[in-house]
Amino acid sequence: MSGLDNMELSPPPSCLKAEYETIFTTDSLLFLHELISTFDEEVDQVLKLRVSRKAHLDLSGDLPSFLESSSHIRRDPAWRVLPVPPRLQRRHVDIGDLAPCDTQRFIQALQSPAQGIQVDFDDGNCPTYYNQIKGLCNVYKAVHNKFPNAPHISQAPVLMLRPRAWNMVEHNMMVGGKEAPGPLFDFGLLMFHCGEKLFRNGSGPFFYLSKVESFMEARLWKKIFVWTQLKLGLPLGSIKATVLIENVLAAFEMEEILYELREHSAGLNCGIWDYSASFINKFGLRQAFLLPDRSKYVNMEKRFLRSYMELLVQTCHRRGALATGGMAALLLPEDRDAHRTAMAAVSRLKLMEIQAGVDGFMVYDLGLIEPMQKLFQLHTEGDNQLHQLLEDVTVTPDDLLSMPSGGVTLYGLKYNIAVGVLFINAWLSGKGHFFYRGQVEDSATAEISRSQVWQWIRHQTQLENDSRVVSRRLVTDLSKELVMELLMELGTGRHSDRDKRRLLTAADMFLEVVLKRDFPEFITTYLNQDHTFLSSQNTGQVEAIGGEIPRPKM
């Protein structure tokens, strides 16, 4: 019996046969089969641990705190993470949300002066079979220098490869009668085809790890890294990973997460929207954790977010690890005055992060790369800020769990509905992000948007503007208004009836999500399992758009 007898793989999407054959070789499938078979049970265990932990929080009413069981790790001043390779020492500006299936933007990023590229199979990517194969093949081409106009991989911005998070599965591969875990599918193929080449060129393999909720999940990634390095003949510690701390529970385990990955750590990253949404995910039923309107009352200057960023920087630098900030989502307008205003807004927010001690952050608009690099040069010295130890900072559980005051505005409710509906519409179009009101929106902003609407309905929150309460009727009426406005816009352009039907479907699906009795943990999991999304792939609606994502004028 061969190693592939209990593996099933869907045939290639039309027009991707060559890419399919490049990625899915007999050897790569044997490697992937062994990787998934080895760790599949442990993946299930960490997901069950999440469910158990959430149930305990709901039943007990407890709040998270720093773990007693691992206090010896936090108290030990001696341990450090291994130093990162030279190409990771200076991480001032990375390009974020770059779905590698978008060939044109990927090549533009490779040609750019950025320090790194977040090669995103997660938040900024829609994981259709087409997009995964196209994206994996484009990474292969970049690493093996097969793009004619792109620099050699040793000279290009470093590729920070972000596989899908643990909550995602790959529908097109079955191993042992089960759908393959999405992160193992992505990670395994990236490592098999690119790991050794990246290592030999001093340019990797480097990863971002999304939605890690505990040190136990970091421990599983460590086991996967060690196993993979041994299998591929790479030195132990050659894989480096930045963990995104985008869950409130993980904020209480940052030192333990670094400790588990101390041979493989490229530091920790802090963002705003997935992290804020996690409060609703974990404590959304509690009135004390009612999160106010994000468009008016939630930003990195609020106590709970400022404390989280300060603790992350302090923790990382104390242990010799790099600390990176979130992504500037703003798109620079063409109009000169509007351009100047937008640049000033981004500079103010990013200067605050620099002054908090971060070693780098991300931008979406390529036009922001050099201005933000200059901001770093003006306000810091050297490659990073590891010397900024923040020894005078003390962060308590109360600081991390302190909800900002504020209410809900009609504008904020409408904005959240629009982002949620348009994100689902984008997914049904095969795109993982879209542009709205001058900035890029992805699954992180969709996550906080739909989470807030669900929570405001659940707590029957009153609007600041008038006496109305956020209810099913109000949200349904506002969704209909939004759809009518968008349909009128579609009616003036070259859009098909299918575009209009898709938008109506997206609005219906958004209402399903925000009106559910029990909070769906991740919008991407919900959509990835939804019949409408799966059937749209089978009928070619998604595949037809390819990976080339329309972009605004820059």
Does the CA dihedral 516-519-523-526 come out positive or negative?
negative
Residue 192 DSSP code: I
Annotated active-site residue in 162, 164, 450, 458:
162
Q: Is 162 part of the annotated catalytic residue set? A: yes
Structure tokens at 194: 């690119």
Cα 176 to Cα 10, 40, 57, 127: the distances in Å are: 15, 10, 34, 22
- 6 residue type, one letter: N
| SS3 call for 289 | helix
Q: Are 125 and 434 in contact (CB under 8 A)?
A: no
Residues 6+ apart with CB under 8 A from 3: 30, 33, 34
Q: Are 130 and 538 in contact (CB under 8 A)?
A: no
CA 486 to chain centre: 27
Q: How far apart are CA 254 and CA 270, in angstroms?
A: 11
- DSSP H/E element including 193: none
Annotated active-site residue in 442, 450, 458, 502:
442
φ and ψ at residue 362, rounded to 5 degrees: -115, 155
Q: How far apart are CA 115 and CA 345, in angstroms?
A: 22
E strands, 99-148, are 116-120
Residues 6+ apart with CB under 8 A from 178: 40
Q: State the helix-helix crossing angle for 410-428 and 443-458, rounded to 10 degrees.
A: 130
DSSP characters over 43-68: HHHHHHHHHHHHHHHHHH-------S
Q: Is 521 exposed, middle or buried (0-12, 13-18, 19+ CB in 10 A)?
A: middle
Q: Are 507 and 421 in contact (CB under 8 A)?
A: yes
Q: Are 329 and 441 in contact (CB under 8 A)?
A: yes
Q: How far apart are CA 81 and CA 131, in angstroms?
A: 35
Q: Are 225 and 239 in contact (CB under 8 A)?
A: yes
Structure tokens at 397: 């559980």
Q: How far apart are CA 532 and CA 5, in angstroms?
A: 31
- 227 residue type, one letter: W
Q: How far apart are CA 231 and CA 35, in angstroms?
A: 10
- For the annotated catalytic residues, the residue numbers are 162, 442
